[in-house]
Amino acid sequence: MEKILNYINGEWQAAQSAETYPVHNPATAELLAETPLCGPMEVDAAACAAEAAFPAWRRTPVAERVQYLFKLKHLVEENFEDLSRTITIENGKTLEEARGEMRRVVENIEVAAGMPILMQGYNSEDIAAGIDETMIRQPLGVCVTIAPFNFPAMIPFWFMPYAIAAGNTYVIKPSERVPLTMQKIFRLLEQTGLPRGVVNLVNGSKQAVDALLDHPLVKGVTFVGSTPTARHIYARAAQNGKRVQAQGGAKNPIVIMPDADAEMCTQIVADSAFGSAGQRCLAASVAITVAEARGWFTESICEAAASRVVGYGLEPGVQMGPVISPQSRQRIEGLIGKGASEGGSVLVDGRGAVIPRYEQGNFVRPTVITEVPPASELARTEVFGPVLGLMHVASLDEAIALVNQRAYGNMACIFTRDGGAARKFRYEVEAGNVGINIGVAAPMAFFPFSGWKESFFGDMHGQGWDAVEFFTQKKVVIERWPKEWTRKF
């Protein structure tokens, strides 16, 4: 069993706290590790180390700072398979899905390596006679990521590479449910030769998070996780005067128009709803069929759900792994039952799944429920499992109205061959990531990972220009140099 350590001020350190959280392989139930649940002492040590490293790191020229990212990119690529396997082992997603996650890690490092240009300011001469004005970007200081369990590697990389390239120093608090991937990534960060204290790792859960939110040296907080936690993080960090962005949960609708390409649409929607066992903030959760799409889509998505190969994600041919924990499985199965009792009809039932050789795993098979009433708990709650609800309407207007009724606004997609319908959807829909004939509208690293309504609290998002904005503060300098002061040589 691996011992989970913190990485503070360039040193691997055992936690002070005796309290731990058990980490199991979700497919085999094997105990992998015990995450130490750190508290204010470890958080203070990490924040102080990051603060101490800040002045010298900030003065390191940006072109030099990004050299560490180039090294990191190479190290991540060399260790790509090992990191992908670790993600599968602790999170449960398939190896191919884990590789996809790792590709996003590399992509974010690459984009952040453009910081010498990305963080340039701008200026104007003679804004008044003989007066010039310049905007320069400076780092904030100590910044933080608090991460969820579903992307153990990728999510900290929506933020950290941009932050350190811009001259900030950093603390990452991974999810206590998946601590192993960050242990490996920090071994690679260590190999880059980054100065002590520039990046730090603290393990734990609520206690560690609250200590970070309250710590006076922490200037910027980024969070990704469920909506109730996002609200808490946003409010508490803002109350403490910190810059904060908090990405929350989701309940993503996909609209299927009658003219959609049936085969393509079914395959993509199935991948969206059941990929990563539905544990993605961009998973399709509700399919809204318009008019005669109802018949063919219901039939084809049920076939796709029933034929999906479920098992241990390290094994070849497996298309879907387990959910993260027995509690999660129980909650998902409970929500399926609730959906049925609220008027839905379960067409493909994934409850009670038993996978030979992995009987102890947290498996829920793909599930399809039709006639889900819009006001029901199943229609409103984020399931975070492989469950697709079907709703049926007569027109695109009705579909858009159903989409916009929703509390969340992380993603909305449409499948159609009609450019007019697609444009209307794109224009009117209240969601921050929109897919047109796309089932997981995940922005590339050079676009912001948007998200609206209950899916996001803040102004600037992760990745791309938004990350540059978030991790820099603008300083505007207005200067006058009267001619008569100029010495003649």
Contact set with ligand NAD (CB under 6 A): 146-151, 173, 175-176, 205-206, 209-210, 224-226, 229, 232, 247-250, 281, 382, 384, 410, 449, 451, 455
Task: Give me the least distance between CB of 6 and ligand NAD, in Å please.
Answer: 14
DSSP for 47-61, please give it. Answer: HHHHHHHHHHHHHS-
Per the CB < 8 A criterion, the answer to whether 32 and 89 are in contact is: yes
137 vs 232 by CB, closer to ligand NAD? 232
Backbone angles phi, psi at 223, to 5 degrees: -140, 145
Query: Is position 38 annotated as part of the catalytic site?
Result: no
Radius of gyration over every alpha carbon of the chain, rounded to an integer in angstroms:
24
Measure Cα distances from 388 to 31, 282, 304, 329 in Å.
Answer: 31, 13, 12, 15
CA dihedral 247→251→257→262, nearest 10 degrees, is 100
Choosing from 143, 265, 281, 302, the catalytic residue is: 281
40 vs 116 by CB, closer to ligand NAD? 40
Task: Give me the least distance between CB of 175 and ligand NAD, in Å please.
Answer: 4
Task: Give me the least distance between CB of 415 and ligand NAD, in Å please.
Answer: 22
Q: Where are the beta strands (DSSP E) in 243-357?
A: 243-247, 252-256, 284-290, 345-348
Per the CB < 8 A criterion, the answer to whether 305 and 388 are in contact is: yes
Backbone angles phi, psi at 160, to 5 degrees: -55, -45
149 vs 157 by CB, closer to ligand NAD? 149
**Residue carrying structure tokens 């969206």:** 272
Task: Give me the least distance between CB of 186 and ligand NAD, in Å please.
Answer: 16
Task: Give me the least distance between CB of 154 and ligand NAD, in Å please.
Answer: 9
Of all helices (H) and strands (E), which one includes residue 370? strand 367-370
- For 175, half-sphere exposure in the C-beta direction (CA atoms, 13 angstrom radius) is 22
Catalytic residues: 281
